[in-house]
């Protein structure tokens, strides 16, 4: 969802104490941007449309009880372009 008065009102309702600690300047929806992807290594947000890399792998899980078969769970790891450049020693 886009940041707007309704979303901030919901945040205020769900998290009243932390919300009250926010400076008045950032209680406006115009000061916010929502992110849904974060770099696995740095923890920094990856903006929509920003160059990044995805590592996809299948992880075999062990059965939780005898007689069950092992399953494969798919895991996706996001890496920011800047982190990958730093790891590879590339200067932009």
With a cut of 60, say whether residue 92 has pLDDT above it. no
What pLDDT does residue 13 have?
94
With 0-12 / 13-18 / 19 or more C-beta atoms within 10 angstroms meaning exposed / middle / buried, residue 22 is middle
- CA-to-CA dists, residue 87 to 38, 53, 75, 90, angstroms: 17, 13, 21, 8
Per-residue pLDDT reduced to its tens digit, 24-72: 878 887 777 777 788 888 888 888 888 888 777 776 777 777 777 777 7
What pLDDT does residue 16 have?
93
With a cut of 70, say whether residue 82 has pLDDT above it. yes
Residue of 40 and 74 predicted with greater confidence: 40
């Amino acid at each position: 969802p886009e940041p707007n008065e309704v979303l901030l009102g919901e945040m205020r309702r769900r998290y009243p104490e932390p919300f009250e600690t926010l400076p008045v300047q950032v209680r406006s929806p115009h000061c916010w941007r929502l992110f849904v992807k974060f770099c696995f290594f740095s923890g920094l947000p990856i903006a929509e449309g920003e160059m990044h890399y995805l590592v996809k792998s299948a992880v075999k899980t062990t059965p939780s009880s005898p007689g069950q078969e092992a399953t494969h769970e798919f895991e996706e790891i996001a890496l920011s372009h800047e982190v990958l450049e730093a790891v590879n020693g590339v200067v932009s």
